[in-house]
Amino acid sequence: MAEKIEERPHLRDCPFCHTAGNDDEKVHFMGNLLIYNGGQYVASYSIFCTGCGVELHDEYKDELVRLWNGEPVAADVEE
């Protein structure tokens, strides 16, 4: 069975240097990484900008994309 390749999420331009977020050669999205956190390895997602070197990690894909794109947390949105 072929391995399902995860679709790259929509990323806005880098919030620090404004490198194009839709260019995978400049703003990299990586999944299924293992990072060492507090004595254990945890699965993680990462976004890395080659323009300025900023790198964000989170164990939840949706949370990482939300942070990168500067979207508010649902509880922070006023109704």
Reported as a single tens digit per residue, the pLDDT across 5-30 is 668 899 999 999 999 999 989 999 98
Residue 76's pLDDT is what? 57
Residue 68 is encoded by which pair of tokens?
Answer: 């990168």
CA distances to 30, 65, 66, 71, 73 from 77, in Å: 28, 17, 13, 10, 7
Reported as a single tens digit per residue, the pLDDT across 49-75 is 999 999 998 888 999 999 999 988 776
Residue 2's pLDDT is what? 54
Query: What global pTM score does this model have?
Result: 0.75
Residue 67's pLDDT is what? 94
The residues pairing with 36 across neighbouring beta strands, listed in sequence order, are: 41
